[in-house]
Structure 1
Amino acid sequence: MKVKPKTVGGQAVIEGVMMKGINTVVAVKRKDGKISIKTIKDNSWGIIEKIPIIRGFFVLLHSMIIGMNALSYSANISGEEDEDLTTKDMVIAILFAIVIATLGFGVLPVLITKPFKIQSEFLFAFIEGLIRAALVIAYIWAISFMKDIKRVFQYHGAEHKSVHTYENNEPLETAYAKKYTTLHPRCGTSFLIITVFASIIVFAISGGFGWNSTWEKIISRIVLLPIVAGVAYEFQRFTAKIIDTKIGKILAYPGLTLQKITTKEPDEEQLNIGLLSLKYALDENFNGEIVVDIQNTNDEKSVVSNKEVNNILLQ
């Protein structure tokens, strides 16, 4: 029997939630109201995901690949797309995302800051970091008004409530999960804002090596992005470990504040789906794909209740 993990995590997808526990599982609401649940292939990348600083970039890349698989499945099952993404499609999508992130996160802030002719490398990196933060927040805020994104943000809240329930050793049922916050210190949203702060430190140091021309700064921002991601990853892990202390709460505050945009209070059905995904992610015997007809707590017409599913998985 596999040991249940101390921590679990996940990602909101289209009309569903992906969870990573013993298995990586995605649960998605179909057009007929039933829930499709499927394991996602998620093999470890070995030692490269365990080396401090270095691991941050590769954990992020690994998560992107798994996330794209889950998003492709959710889009197909929920009826948003007619076909799953091919491997070629996903490679192109991931490369495109990396290019956009590099241009928007690395290059554009340099071009905006350079005309100010700031001599201090730390001050340049600081102003550049503020611009980078403003771009990230503006983008997230803008997309939060989209109807489909609002639902994804609700599922994001369901994911966090489910994780909190598990981490507090309570039954994975809506009655217990409802009371928890939609904010979580290990969230990817927090990682974004931590990355902004990490970039100020890393890029200020790189400026000290004499990389001061516009092109040198742009190239250094692109080359050093994996290091920035690594520093941010280690900082977030550290913060999550001390989250119950006063200093931990202070360090986590910016990321948790940004999550108030990217997470919304889920309805009961969405919370059920998040919990269901986590239950199957914790079931070492589950492998494959099934369809579950699961009720909301007030819906007496459903075939399988939340409690019954929980009992099945505990057998």
Structure 2
Amino acid sequence: MKSSNIGGQAVLEGIMMKNRDRYAVAVRKPDGEIFVQTEEFHSVTGRYKKLTTIPFIRGVFNFIDSMVLGIKTLTFSASFYEEEEEEKEFSEAEQKKKEKKESLLMAGTIAFSIVAAVAIFMVLPYFLSSLMKPVVPSYHLRTVIEGFVRIGIFIIYILLISRMKDIQRTFMYHGAEHKCINCIEHGLPLTVENVRNSSRQHKRCGTSFLFFVLAISIILLLLIRVESPLMRVVVRIALLPVIAGVSYEVLKLAGNSDNPFVNLLSKPGMAIQKMTTSEPDDGMIEVAIQAVEAVFDWRAYERDNFHTS
């Protein structure tokens, strides 16, 4: 199976699909119409775009790009479902002020998300495992336990948010996104029926990336040992870019290989995807197809990669 290199994300009542330097957001509006917007993608690296192509370094910047684009497209999709307000004309100065405010809000959201994620998934598990020192004197064993606590917190977090109605629908759109990509990468025409019959799990999923981050952190923390409790916290934070870089390379390898060993490495992340994706309805699949077709020529991909007699 040849990777199409397209990726995406579920948003509120819709799908974002990205292909190279373009992305599209397709949203099912409250009146039932599908709205599609296509934009050019700009990396956070700006003119130093080469940083997104250097192995192990590219993973850090691609992760940041994904966060920025994800929050931006989520905010865009949510705008269709905000409470209706009185329409009013904005002057050019007011419009620029509004856009600046939205940019600052997005930057603040990203910063808070990163700090919260580090605190919950990196620092908290360390302190919880440290409480076991009287009964588990081995540092290495506590580090392994810390890793499993980290994975446990991640799974509990997914289970808790999956109880929310909006999240349940988002997980259905997440399933539609995966099904579209699997349909394309198996050489099938992108129709509602073919997408419906495709798998909702995909090896390049962000859920699998997060699992690799959690798993690889166990290995690296076993190799790097410091005595000071404060320095142990510092090391866990400082290693995050390294962990993200390695995890990205593993995910990229998994998405481009059918090697049995690589498939085995992908299985835990694929299993967790069963919690972050659900079977979509046909209407959701239609939204996903429009998002794909706005940025990706799947017919040309089929001609180039699948030969029929």
- Matches of residues 32-47 of structure 1 in structure 2 within 5 Å? 32-44=31-43, 45=45, 46-47=49-50
- The range that moved more, 108-117 or 72-81, is 72-81
Matched, 1:150 2:173: no
Gaps of 5+ in 2: 86-97, 298-309
Matched, 1:11 2:14: no
Matched, 1:186 2:201: no
Deviation, 1:31, is 0.8
SS at match of 2:293: helix
SS at match of 1:40: strand
Deviation, 1:119, is 4.7
Per-residue deviation, residues 189-230 of structure 1 (Å, max 9, x unmatched):
1111111111011111221xxx22221111111111111111
**Counterpart-to-counterpart distance in 2, 1:122 and 1:241:** 33
Per-residue deviation, residues 39-79 of structure 1 (Å, max 9, x unmatched):
23412441111121121111100111111111011000244
Aligned residue among 124, 127, 135 for 1:108:
124
Matched, 1:230 2:245: yes
Deviation, 1:125, is 2.1
* Residue equivalent to 1:69: 72
Relative to structure 1, the CA distance from residue 81 to residue 18 in structure 2 (aligned partners, 3 Å threshold; closer, same or farther) is farther
* Residue equivalent to 2:28: 29
Per-residue deviation, residues 242-285 of structure 1 (Å, max 9, x unmatched):
2x3322221111000000000000000001100110000126xx
**Counterpart-to-counterpart distance in 1, 2:104 and 2:214:** 31
Per-residue deviation, residues 131-170 of structure 1 (Å, max 9, x unmatched):
0000000000111111110000000000001111121232
SS at match of 1:62: helix
**Counterpart-to-counterpart distance in 2, 1:80 and 1:34:** 18
- Matches of residues 241-256 of structure 1 in structure 2 within 5 Å? 241-242=256-257, 244-256=258-270
Aligned residue among 109, 112, 115 for 1:99:
115
**Counterpart-to-counterpart distance in 1, 2:151 and 2:268:** 11
* Residue equivalent to 1:218: 233
**Counterpart-to-counterpart distance in 2, 1:80 and 1:133:** 37
* Residue equivalent to 1:275: 289
- The range that moved more, 274-283 or 96-105, is 274-283
SS at match of 1:20: strand
Gaps of 5+ in 1: 284-315
Deviation, 1:6, is 2.9
**Counterpart-to-counterpart distance in 2, 1:58 and 1:25:** 21
**Counterpart-to-counterpart distance in 1, 2:255 and 2:139:** 31
- 8 A Cα contact 1:172 1:279, kept in partner: no
Relative to structure 1, the CA distance from residue 81 to residue 69 in structure 2 (aligned partners, 3 Å threshold; closer, same or farther) is farther
Number of aligned residue pairs: give it. Answer: 276
Instruction: Quote the sequence identity (%).
Output: 38
**Counterpart-to-counterpart distance in 2, 1:123 and 1:227:** 22
- 8 A Cα contact 1:11 1:18, kept in partner: yes
Relative to structure 1, the CA distance from residue 81 to residue 109 in structure 2 (aligned partners, 3 Å threshold; closer, same or farther) is farther
* Residue equivalent to 1:60: 63
**Counterpart-to-counterpart distance in 2, 1:167 and 1:81:** 41
SS at match of 1:181: coil
Query: Which TM-score applies when normalising by structure 2?
Result: 0.84
Residue 244 of structure 2 aligns to which amino acid in structure 1? A
* Residue equivalent to 1:202: 220
**Counterpart-to-counterpart distance in 2, 1:100 and 1:131:** 17
